[in-house]
Structure 1
Amino acid sequence: MLLKEAENKIKTNFWVLPALYGVGALVLAVLSVAVEHTLSQHENIKNLIPSIFFTDKELAQTVLSAISTSLLTMTTITFSSVLVVLTTFLSQFSPRTLQNFINDSKTQLVLGTFIGGYIYALVLLSQVKGSELDNSFIVPSFAILVAFICLGMFVFLIHHVTDWIKVGNLVSNITSETLASVEKHYKGQEMTGDSEENDLDLNSLKSYGIESRKQGYIEYADIVGMVSFAEDHELIIKFEKVPGEYVDIDTPILTVWNSPEKLDERKLLDFLLISPTQEVIEDIEFGIQKLVEIALRGIAPGKNDPETAINCIENLSQILTKVGKNYSPSPYYYDSDKNIRVILEKPSFADLLYESFYQIRHYGKADVSVMTSIINALTLIAETNREEIKQYVWDFSLYLVEGIKQQDWLGLDKNYLNRHLLKLAKACNEVHEEKLITI
C-alpha cells in the first residue's frame, strides 16, 4: 500500500515529476561535463568526432546562454497555458475536473522537460565559463539537442492543451478513469458469495474496533490482501466506512472479530489508502459526480448546451453498463476454505442509477432531447445486462416517467418519448400491455 500511496502522491502533486526531471537534468549535465573533460584529455578520441559538433569558448557561452533564456521563457508560457486551461475547467465544467488536468502525466512531462532543459543548459554554461582546459567544447551540441527536444514538447503541449479544452475529450477521460476504478472496485469479486449474517454468530466472538489515524477520503482498499491477512490470522473484518467515504481521526473504520489478542492496527490500516483529496481510484460515485456536474453545466439557464449533457449521459450509460456486469449485492468475501473473512457493504445498483440521473432529470425535465437520452441510456444498460439489472432499470424507469408526466408536452413530443419508452420496455422484458409505460 505504501507503493500505491507514493504513486498517488506523485500523480496529485504537480511539482513532483518536474522536480524529478530537474534532478535528472542536473545529473545529465554533470555527465556531459565529464564527457567534455574526457575528450579534452584524449585527443585521439576527440579527433574521431566531426569538428562541426565543437565550438569555441565564446560561441559556446553565447549558445548556452540563449538556450537557457529561451527555455525559461517557454516554461513561463507553459505555466500561463496551464492556468488558462484550469480557469476554463473551473468556469465551464466543474471544480472537480481540475484534478484530471493536473494529474495528467503528459502536462507534467512537458513542464518537467522544460525545467530539466533549463537546468541542464544553465549548469553547462557555468562549467564552460570556468573551463580553461581547451578552447573547443562539445557540450553546446548536447544543449542544442535538448533544445530541439524541448521545442518538440512545446508543440506537443499546444496540441495537448487544445485537446483538453474540448469537452468531449474531458468527458471521455473521466469515463476511462471511472471505468478503470470499476475494475479496481470489484477486484476480488470471485471471492464473494451469499450468506446470512445470522450464520456468522458474531456476538459469540471477541471483537474490537479500529479507528482511523488519518483524516480524508478512503481512496482504495486492498480487499484481496485483507482476505489473505484475515485467513492467516483467523479473523473476520467488517468495514464500518466504505471506499469513497470521508473519515476523521478516531473515526471507527473497521471492526475485527475472533482475534485472540489485539493485533497491531497499523497492519490492517496499511491495506487502506486515505487521501486528503477525493480521487477516482476506487470511488465510482465520484467519477459519476464529475460527469453529472458537467451535464448540469450544459443544461444550465444561459448556457443552453444540451449536447454536452447528452454526451455525459451516454458516457454514464457506459459506466453503469460495466458496473451492472460486475455488480454483486453480497457484502461477504470468502477465503479459499469458504470462510467469511471480509464484510463490505456496497452501494446498490439502484442507488448508482439514482445518483447518476436524478439531478439531470430534475434540471432537464423540460428538454425532450435530454429526457430521451436518459431513456436511451437506460435502454442500453438493460439490453446488455442480466435480469436482476433489468429490474433495477425498470423500477427507475417508473420514477423517470412519473416526473416526465408532470410536464406539458406537445403531441409530437409525446409520440417521440413514447417510442423510446417502448424500446426501453422491450429491453427490460416488460412488454405486456398492462405494464407498458406511456405519457
Structure 2
Amino acid sequence: MRETLRVQLWPLPTLGVALAAVAGVGLPQLDARIQLDPPTWLKTYLFSGGPDAARSVLSAIAGSLVTVTALTFSLTVLTLQLASSQFSPRLLRTFTADRHVQATLALFLTTFTFALTVLRTVRTGKDEQTEFVPQISVTVALLLTLASLLALVLFLSHLARELRIETMMRSVHSATVHTIHRLLPQQQDTAGRDSAAGNASGATPEPPANALPLTVSASGFLTSMDEKALLRAAVEADAVVLIDRTPGDSLVAGTPVGVAWPRPGTHLSSEARARLVGRAAAAVSIGPERTDREDVAFGIRQLTDIATKALSPGINDPTTAVHALAHSSALLCELAGRDLGPRMLHDDQQRLRVVLRRPDLDELVTLAVAQPLRYGAGEPAVLARIAALLRELAWTAPPDRHPPIAGALARLRSTIDGQDLDDTEHVRLVELTRLAEEALAGRWPPGR
C-alpha cells in the first residue's frame, strides 16, 4: 500500500484539499472572534477591503487557480506521454513519484479549495445580515496565491530539467543504488552477519524430488517477499522453504513460486502442507508492475530499455544508448562488490529454514548487454561502450565472478567479427576487447 501511494499523483493533493476545507471553515470562525479587537500590529498586514473587494479577490483566486491547475495537469500528462513514447514506459513511475510535481498540484488545489470555502463566509450586510469580512482568511488566501505563483515558476523549471534524458537516467541510477545499498550487503561482510536474520555461508540445498510446490493465487509481478512471515511458516511446519523466483519475475496464478520439504527425519501432514502453501502465498506480494522496492535489476531494466529505444530506427540516437550503458556499467560495478548469493534465513537453533534466490551477475550482465549488443551491432560507438563496460566490470569484480564477464566478452567479439566494419573501426574495437581481457587478468594498460 505504501509503495502504491508513493507513485500516485492523487494522495498528496487530496490531503491538501481536505486540510484546506477544514481551514476554510475554521479560520473564518477565528476571524469572527478577533474581528472586534484585533491587535494593532496585525491590522497593518491584514486585508483591509470591504465585502465586495473580498469577494472579488477570492473569486479571482479561485478562478485563476483552476486554470493554473489544469495547465499543470496538462503539462504533467504531456511529460508522461513523452517519457513513455520517447524513452521507456517504465520511466512513468519516476514522474508520478516525483514529490515536486505532487507538492505543486497539492498547493494549487489547496489554494483553490481554501479560497472557495472562505468565499461562502463573506457577508455584505444586505438582507438583514451582519457585514462580515474574514480578514485573516482573505490574507491567508493571498499568501497562498503568491506561494502558488512561485511554485508554478519552480514547477516549469523543474519540468524542463526532468524532461532531459540525462536527468531521467540519473534518477533511475540513484534509485537503484539506494535499493542496492538497502538490500545487498558488501560481499566481504556477509560471513559476519547474524545468520538468524540474513545470509550465512554454505551451498544452496538441493530440494528432493517429492518437494511440495508452493503456488501463488494471483498473476502479476513479484514485488516483494515477507521474510519474517516465510520464516515463521517454515518453523511452524518444521520445513525448509526455497523461493526460486526473484522480485521482478512475472508470475502466473497456480504456478509454483518455490518448493518446500520437511527436514530430515520429519514429515509434513496434509494439513501442514495446505497451511504452508497458503502462508507462503500470502508472504509473496504480487503487483501489476515492477517496482524498485526489492528489485535490484529493475534499474538496469529501465536503462536497457532506454538504450534499445534510442537504437530503434525511428529514434536513431546512439549517444543516448552509450550514456545509458555508462549508467548500467556503474550499477554493475556496484553490484559486483555485493553479496549476490542466495539469502538464507535460519531459526533460533541456526537451522536453515528459508532460501531466497537473487539474480546473479550472469543474469545482470546479460540484462545490461544482450539487447544493446543485438540492436546496436552495427554502431561502433555502442560496441565500444559495451567493451568499456566489460573492462570496467572485469576490473571491479572479484575473480570468482569473471566467467560471466568472459562469456559476454566472447559474444561481443563474435558480434564485432560478424559486422561489415571498415578496417580502422575493426582494429579499434578489437583493441578494446583486448583491454577488457587484460582487465580480467588484473591489468589495466593504457589504451592505444
What TM-score comes out, normalization by structure 1 length? 0.86
Aligned pairs for 1:150-161 (under 5 A) are 150-161=148-159
8 Å CA contact 2:17–2:109 kept in 1: the answer is yes
Aligned pairs for 1:121-160 (under 5 A) are 121-129=115-123, 132-138=129-135, 139-160=137-158
Residue equivalent to 2:301:
289
Cα distance, 1:279 vs structure 2:
2.0
Unmatched 5+ stretches in structure 1: 1-5, 432-439
How far apart in 2 are the matches of 1:424 and 1:140?
68
Cα distance, 1:78 vs structure 2:
0.3
State percent identity of aligned pairs.
22
Cα distance, 1:242 vs structure 2:
2.9
Cα distance, 1:224 vs structure 2:
5.5
8 Å CA contact 2:185–2:339 kept in 1: the answer is no
Calculate the aligned-residue CA RMSD, in Å: 2.7
Tell me the alpha carbon deviations over residues 98-130 of structure 1, each in whole angstroms, 9 at most, x when there is no partner.
222122222122111111111111101112248
Give the AA of the match of 1:91.
S
Give the AA of the match of 2:150.
G
1:102 maps onto 2:99 in alignment: no
1:178 maps onto 2:181 in alignment: no
8 Å CA contact 1:194–1:330 kept in 2: the answer is no
Residue equivalent to 2:42:
49
Give the AA of the match of 1:68.
A
How far apart in 1 are the matches of 2:124 and 2:258?
62
Give the AA of the match of 1:221.
M
Unmatched 5+ stretches in structure 2: 194-198, 263-267, 444-448
Over 3 Å counting, the alpha-carbon distance change for 1:130 and 1:401 in structure 2 is farther
Which residue, 240, 247, 250 being the options, matches 1:246? 250
8 Å CA contact 2:58–2:141 kept in 1: the answer is yes
Aligned pairs for 1:339-350 (under 5 A) are 339-350=351-362
1:85 maps onto 2:79 in alignment: yes
Give the AA of the match of 2:102.
Q
How far apart in 2 are the matches of 1:184 and 1:268?
24
Residue equivalent to 1:3:
none
Tell me the alpha carbon deviations over residues 145-190 of structure 1, each in whole angstroms, 9 at most, x when there is no partner.
1111111111111011111110000111112222233345537964
For the residue of structure 2 that corresponds to 1:312, the secondary structure is: helix
8 Å CA contact 1:68–1:118 kept in 2: the answer is yes
Residue equivalent to 2:16:
21
8 Å CA contact 2:416–2:426 kept in 1: the answer is no
Residue equivalent to 2:196:
none
Give the AA of the match of 1:193.
S
How far apart in 2 are the matches of 1:282 and 1:274?
12
How far apart in 2 are the matches of 1:68 and 1:386?
62
8 Å CA contact 1:239–1:344 kept in 2: the answer is yes
Over 3 Å counting, the alpha-carbon distance change for 1:202 and 1:134 in structure 2 is farther
Over 3 Å counting, the alpha-carbon distance change for 1:312 and 1:37 in structure 2 is same
8 Å CA contact 2:61–2:115 kept in 1: the answer is yes
Residue equivalent to 1:195:
203
Determine which structure has the larger helix proportion and give its number. 1
8 Å CA contact 1:379–1:427 kept in 2: the answer is yes
Give the AA of the match of 1:152.
L
8 Å CA contact 1:194–1:332 kept in 2: the answer is no
Residue equivalent to 1:436:
none
Give the AA of the match of 2:159.
V
How far apart in 2 are the matches of 1:304 and 1:196?
45
Tell me the alpha carbon deviations over residues 264-319 of structure 1, each in whole angstroms, 9 at most, x when there is no partner.
76654454322122222222333222211211222222533211001100011111
Cα distance, 1:376 vs structure 2:
0.9
Give the AA of the match of 1:315.
H
8 Å CA contact 1:54–1:136 kept in 2: the answer is no
For the residue of structure 2 that corresponds to 1:292, the secondary structure is: helix
86-95 or 166-175, which deviates more: 86-95
Cα distance, 1:197 vs structure 2:
2.3
How far apart in 2 are the matches of 1:209 and 1:373?
43
Aligned pairs for 1:24-35 (under 5 A) are 24-35=19-30
73-82 or 148-157, which deviates more: 148-157
Tell me the alpha carbon deviations over residues 49-104 of structure 1, each in whole angstroms, 9 at most, x when there is no partner.
22441332111111111111111110011011112212211221122222221222
How many residues in Structure 1 have an aligned counterpart in Structure 2? Answer: 420
